[in-house]
Amino acid sequence: MGKVVKAIQDEYPDDFAWCYGCGRLNQEGYHFRTGWLGEKTITLYTPKPEHTAIPGFVYGGLLASLIDCHGTGSASLALYRKNGYEIGDSAEPPRFVTGSLHVDFKKPTPQGEVLKAIGTVEEIHPKKWRVKTEVYASDIIVATGEVVAVVMPSTFKQKED
């Protein structure tokens, strides 16, 4: 289990594929990829040596970014499915931004482990979705979090002069 093969981020239009966490076009970014795992969502990521807090342990900001992008990607997956689409269909998926982010660090996160974010998605409003995430290193929960993801407002789109 090293890669999410069908990821919602692959479907984002180029204008919205630049996020440092999950944007496929941001060459310096993490390139998080979120897909389905049954009725839950999954993102896998192997931290690099530069993602160190102290020797042997992962920087907490990486975990927060993982939970954040996993949350918005999971909301996009859920609304896309609700609208009758799956990854690979020709329809453009909805894009979300973070309305709120809460992270609890449970245990130190060892370097050298694949991190697995597993999400549970709940619709709370037509334009807001809550995603609860557990992040595992091996079989140990190292962080939990919650994202309230909001459908991206039209004001985020670039204006042409």
Mode of pairing for the β-strands spanning 128-137 and 115-125: antiparallel
Task: Say whether 105 sits in a helix, a strand or coil.
Answer: strand
Q: How far apart are CA 56 and CA 80, in angstroms?
A: 39
pLDDT band at 69 (very low <50, low <70, confident <90, very high): very high
Which residue from 72, 69, 57, 149 is spatially nearest to 105, judged by alpha carbons? 57
- The predicted pLDDT at position 161 comes to 47
Residue 36 has pLDDT above 60, yes or no: yes
Residue 88 has pLDDT above 70, yes or no: yes
Q: What is the mean pLDDT of residues 25-40?
A: 97
Instruction: State the DSSP H helix or E strand holding residue 74, giving kind and residue range, or none if neither.
Output: helix 60-82
Residue 1 has pLDDT above 90, yes or no: no
pLDDT per position as a tens digit, 92-151: 999 999 999 999 999 999 999 999 999 999 999 999 999 999 999 999 999 999 999 999
Residue 159 has pLDDT above 70, yes or no: no
Kindly provide the residue ranges of all beta strands, DSSP E only, lying in the chain, ordered along the sequence: 34-37, 40-45, 52-54, 57-58, 96-105, 115-125, 128-137, 140-151
pLDDT band at 155 (very low <50, low <70, confident <90, very high): confident
- The predicted pLDDT at position 149 comes to 98
Backbone torsions φ then ψ of 68, nearest 5 degrees? -60, -55
- The predicted pLDDT at position 100 comes to 98
- In the chain, pLDDT over 70 holds for what percent of residues? 96
**Domain extents for the chain?**
8-153
Question: Topology of 8-153 in CATH?
Answer: Thiol Ester Dehydrase; Chain A (3.10.129)
